[in-house]
Amino acid sequence: MINWPVLHLSSWLKTCCNTSAYSGFFFLSGRTIDQPEEIRGMLGRFWERHLKALEFAPPFPQQTLPVYLHGDEGRGQGKRPILVISFQPGMPWFGENEVNSSKHTFTTRALYTVVPSANYAPKGGTLKELLAALRDDLNSLFETGFEASWLTFNM
């Protein structure tokens, strides 16, 4: 249990994939959950390309969603450092052959948390708790996946 507000990736995925208003659009490269063959093909192509570039692919590529973790420390208007941790789909909602950095981060990332530097420096207690909770959520998604309509996805 962490004593800081977070939006877990598992919650983002369940909301985005199991809500009819979104139907997976954000994490499925603009496709919706009712397009199983297109999704499997898209995921297969992604992991095939990934394997060529980085020599790694998951055991079930056609049901594994690629998601990146993004951390960025910046300064707010008050010039105090803050840390923003977010998730980024491996393939953006506007097309599998596009790059996420071509759009504004508000439209390409899913927020995990924001932490002012006073809460993670110098001892880092809050940050350690946040990262442990993040690790546990990601491990659960990788090991057991999550159900979205007709399919179980893994991370």
Contact criterion met (CB below 8 Å) for 49 and 42: no
Is residue 1 assigned to a domain? no
Is residue 38 assigned to a domain? yes
Is residue 39 assigned to a domain? yes
Q: What is the pLDDT of residue 100?
A: 61
Is residue 4 assigned to a domain? no
Buried b (16+ CB within 10 A) or exposed e, 89-109: bbbbbeebeeebeeeeeeebb
Q: What is the pLDDT of residue 3?
A: 80
Is residue 3 assigned to a domain? no
Phi, then psi, of 21 in degrees rounded to 5? -65, -25
Residuewise pLDDT in 10s, the chain (155 residues): 678 899 999 999 888 888 888 888 788 888 888 888 999 999 999 999 888 888 888 888 888 888 889 998 888 777 888 899 999 888 876 667 666 666 666 556 889 999 888 777 666 677 888 889 999 999 999 888 887 765 666 65
Contact criterion met (CB below 8 Å) for 25 and 36: no
Q: What is the pLDDT of residue 62?
A: 87
Considering only CA atoms, give the Rg of the chain.
17
Is residue 17 assigned to a domain? yes
3-state DSSP of 72-99 = EEEECCCCCEEEEEEEEECCCCCCCCCC
Give the number of other Cβ atoms within 10 Å of residue 142's Cβ: 12
Is residue 2 assigned to a domain? no
The total number of structural domains that make up the chain: 1
Full residue range of the structural domain in which residue 20 is found: 9-153
Q: Is the peptide bond before 116 cis (omega within 30 degrees of 0)?
A: no
Q: Dig out the tokens for 89 from the structure.
A: 């789909």
Is residue 145 assigned to a domain? yes
Q: Is the pTM of this model over 0.75?
A: yes
- Specify the DSSP element, H or E, that contains 67: strand 67-75
